[in-house]
Amino acid sequence: MKFVDHHCHLDFPQLAEDRAGVLARAREAGVGVLVTISTRIRRFPEILGIAEEHANVYCSVGTHPHNAHEELDIPLEEIVRLSEHPKVVAIGEAGARLLLQALDPRSSGGRVSPPYRRCAPDRSSAGDSHA
């Protein structure tokens, strides 16, 4: 049986330092596919590069709610355009906005999640909601 890790951050320094080892250990543990999650659209080229380097790695395109205030100027059309790449399998990390706002006032999830929801019906991509 093969497993899918549908929410990892292969770009985070703790994993990037030994990405080859991380991927090898995942394979040894039976993880056949990994989805590395975008936390900032402006860093999407790095995320996409990781996915393109490995046949079994895919990615999302999106902004984490804690970083949303940094990317309010990115139009929905740009997110949709980026999501059309064959290695992109999800839009997000969109966030459970009410929970995040209650737990952390820095969250801008309420300003980011609605546009993601509006583009989801037009795409075959899944959403990645951080709960």
Residue 94 sits in a domain whose CATH number is: 3.20.20.140
pLDDT tens for residues 48-95?
Answer: 999 999 999 999 998 887 888 888 898 888 988 999 999 999 988 865
Token pair recorded at residue 81: 């355009």
Compute, in degrees rounded to 10, the torsion defined by CA atoms 64, 66, 72, 78.
Answer: -10
Domain count, the chain: 1
| Cα distances (angstroms) measured from residue 60 to each of 15, 22, 40 | 17, 19, 10
CA–CA gap between residue 26 and residue 60 (Å, rounded)? 19
Domain that holds residue 60: 3-127
Residue with tokens 């929905």: 76
pLDDT tens for residues 103-113?
Answer: 455 554 444 44
CA–CA gap between residue 49 and residue 47 (Å, rounded)? 5
pTM for this model (two decimals): 0.77
